[in-house]
A = this chain, B = another copy of it.
Amino acid sequence: MAKQKKAPRPKAITPKGFRDYFGVEVTERTEMLHQIAGVYHRYGFEALESSAVETVEALGKFLPDVDRPNEGVFAWQEFDEKDQGDWMALRYDLTAPLARVYAQHRNDLPNPYRRYAMGPVWRNEKPGPGRYRQFYQCDADTVGTASMAADAEICAMLSDTLETVGIPRGDYLVRVNNRKVMNGVLEVMGLGEDQAAKDNVLRTIDKFDKVGESGVRELLGKGRLDASGAYIDGVGLSDDQIEPVIAFLTSKADDVAKTFENLRGAVGASTVGAEGIAELEQIGDLLAAGGYGSDRIEIDPSIVRGLGYYTGPVFEAELTFEIFDEKGRKRQFGSVSGGGRYDDLVKRFTGQSVPATGLSIGVDRLLAALREKGRMGGTSVGPVVVTVMDRDRMADYQAMVAELRNAGIRAEVYLGNPKNFGNQLKYADKRNSPVAVIEGGDEKERGVVQIKDLILGAKIAESATLEEWKERPSQFEVGRGELVAKVREILASQVEGSADG
């Protein structure tokens, strides 16, 4: 019974962990990135677009090995004459390429170099719900200066950016902390050169968000009974050693001067600690001078995310308005951007330490926030559809659509099989069209066109009892010469209508 099989057809599927973006998913992101680029530009930052592909050597973090060369990144080997080419990979962030570009072009770039970059990055990770292997990043960094004015500027720019894209003041807060203060705390704890213990402390404070002050106290001490009932071993520090950590994490006061006083208590005689506090004070002064008060940006030592990665100031932008999570519980929207100072960016290429500071915006998170706030619709108005009543008169319909487009109105002629008029209206519906234009043989003879308000028509269909709408016509007959004017009038009334509703 077995038939001879043809070569199977290829499967039409998006590769696992990747996705396609349609219509407004694309245009709303483009629009948001356009607005962000405007702010970055105003701050003197220059665009940089490096290639998506880098040598694995330049990316650095991931090293290929023979068996499994693409752990974490998408990598492949170039073929040269001897089949022994370089390993290449897709960039996994926008910072590693910046390091390469800066090291390569540093003699031609202004110093300091302010640059922004936006674009996709790729991660060869196990995909999960809402977690994709290609996603957008949007970064701004200043390379080549140790001045706190650079860090303050990044914070101010982040604040301006959020307001520009549509997050109102009061719905967000940029929080600033400093790794050096934490280093001061580690110093006064008397851990000496015990790097393992220090790493344990850093890992523990990273849980501060979740377990709170008492949890951190237990985890740094004898240990803690987990919510699940499991017992987590503690770091085994004494109460005296734990105290500076707690003092650091809980130092935030209503008054910023009091916050700094608390921090000074936490770092005691540590030089690096004092330096960290002085840096935070400088940032605070610079921001105040620029008019950025604590309603927009504040010093907050309880922000610990990223403290382990960065070498100086760290920043985080949190959206403070509430949303309902997937279980229907209210919670704050949370972080949409983070950044900080990292001073060894270029060293691995050149041997010279180059100070740098920057931020990265979570593009998809911020887009989701804007949709939550109703700043982006997630839907777009479709084109006016000129229907085809007589396929031999396509030129007439083409003329109409050209008139509409020339008047700046989004419009298209129906290009499918025109035989079934119902299909044309179904198509208009699928396209989210606001208006359909109809010109049959009778209309042509009388020099008129029918113009259907599809939005109003849908409303009338939905609530047929509403006398008010029943009385309002949703279809108009106008002279052929009034086509553009009438369509424009209906589109304007729809915008008003949606503003009312």
A interface list, Cβ under 8 A from B: 9-15, 18-27, 30, 34, 37, 41-44, 46-55, 57-58, 60, 68, 70, 74-76, 79, 86, 88, 90, 99-101, 103-105, 110-112, 114, 120, 122, 133-134, 142, 144-145, 147, 149-150, 152-153, 156, 160, 282, 285-292, 348-351, 382-383, 394-399, 401-402, 405-406, 408-413, 415-416, 427, 430-431
Q: How far is the CA of A50 from the CA of B288 in the complex (A)?
A: 44
| With A76-B70, A76-B75, A103-B12 as contacts: A22 and B51 at CB distance below 8 Å | no
Across the interface, A427 reaches (CB within 8 A) one of B21, B58, B100, B111, namely B111
Number of copies: 2
Please name the residue on chain B nearest to A7 by beta carbon: B348
Are A53 and B122 CB-contacts (below 8 A) given A285-B395, A408-B42, A411-B44? Answer: yes
Contacts of A53 in B (CB 8 A): 15, 18, 74, 122, 133-134
A24-B48 Cα distance, complex, nearest whole Å: 9
Q: Do A26 and B49 touch (CB < 8 A)? A: yes
Chain B residue at smallest Cβ distance from A412: B44
Contact B112 A416 (CB under 8 A): yes
Q: Within 8 Å CB of A14, what residues of B? A: 50-51, 100, 104
Q: What's the nearest-Cβ distance from chain B to residue A88, in Å? A: 6
Asked if A110 meets B37 with Cβ closer than 8 Å, knowing A26-B48, A413-B149, the reply is no
Whether B394 and A286, one on each chain, are in contact in the complex, defined by CB atoms closer than 8 angstroms, is yes
Establish whether residues A110 and B427, one from each chain, have CB atoms under 8 Å apart when the complex forms.
Answer: yes
Select one of B42, B79, B410 contacting A41, CB under 8 A: B410
4 nearest CB pairs, A to B: A44-B412, A12-B103, A290-B402, A289-B395
Whether B11 and A57, one on each chain, are in contact in the complex, defined by CB atoms closer than 8 angstroms, is yes
- A20: which B residues are within 8 A, CB to CB? 48-51, 101, 105
Give the residue name and chain of the B residue nearest to A97 (CB).
B20
A-B residue pairs in contact (CB < 8 Å), sample of 22: A18-B53, A19-B51, A21-B49, A22-B47, A41-B410, A42-B409, A44-B383, A44-B411, A44-B412, A52-B52, A52-B90, A52-B122, A70-B76, A74-B76, A111-B427, A114-B412, A149-B397, A149-B398, A149-B413, A285-B395, A291-B402, A291-B406
Contact (A350, B415) CB under 8 Å given A149-B394, A289-B399: no
Q: Is the CB of A288 within 8 A of B395?
A: yes
Tell me whether B15 and A395 are in contact (CB under 8 A).
no
Give min CB distance, A338 to chain B, whole Å. Answer: 21
A41: chain B residues within 8 A (beta carbon): 27, 410
The reply to whether A58 and B11 contact each other, CB–CB distance below 8 Å, is yes
What's the Cα separation between A44 and B18 when bound, in Å? 27
List 12 other contacts, CB 8 Å, given A21-B47, A51-B134, A111-B427.
A11-B349, A12-B99, A13-B104, A22-B47, A22-B48, A23-B47, A42-B410, A44-B410, A53-B74, A90-B90, A110-B430, A147-B415
Nearest residue, chain B, Cβ from A22: B48
CA distance A21 to B46 in the complex (A): 11
B55 touches A13 (CB 8 A): yes
Decide: B10 and A60 in contact? CB cutoff 8 A.
yes
The answer to whether A286 and B43 have CB atoms under 8 Å apart is no
Q: Which residue of B26, B44, B100 contacts A47 across the interface (Cβ within 8 Å)?
A: B26
A9 and B351 form a contact (CB under 8 A): yes
Contact of A405 among B43, B68, B99 (CB under 8 A): B43
- Give the CA-CA distance A404 to B49 in the complex, in Å: 27
Complex contacts, A411 vs chain B, CB 8 Å: 42-44
Output the least CB separation between A284 and chain B (Å).
10
Q: A51 and B18 in contact (CB under 8 A), knowing A42-B405, A150-B415? A: yes
In the complex, the answer to whether A13 meets B286 with C-beta atoms within 8 Å is: no
Q: Which residues of B contact A60 (CB under 8 A)?
A: 10
CB distance from A76 to the nearest CB of B (A): 4
> Which B-chain residue is minimally distant from A68 (CB atoms)?
B79
In the complex, are the beta carbons of B9 and A286 less than 8 A apart?
Answer: no
A104, chain B: closest CB distance, angstroms: 4
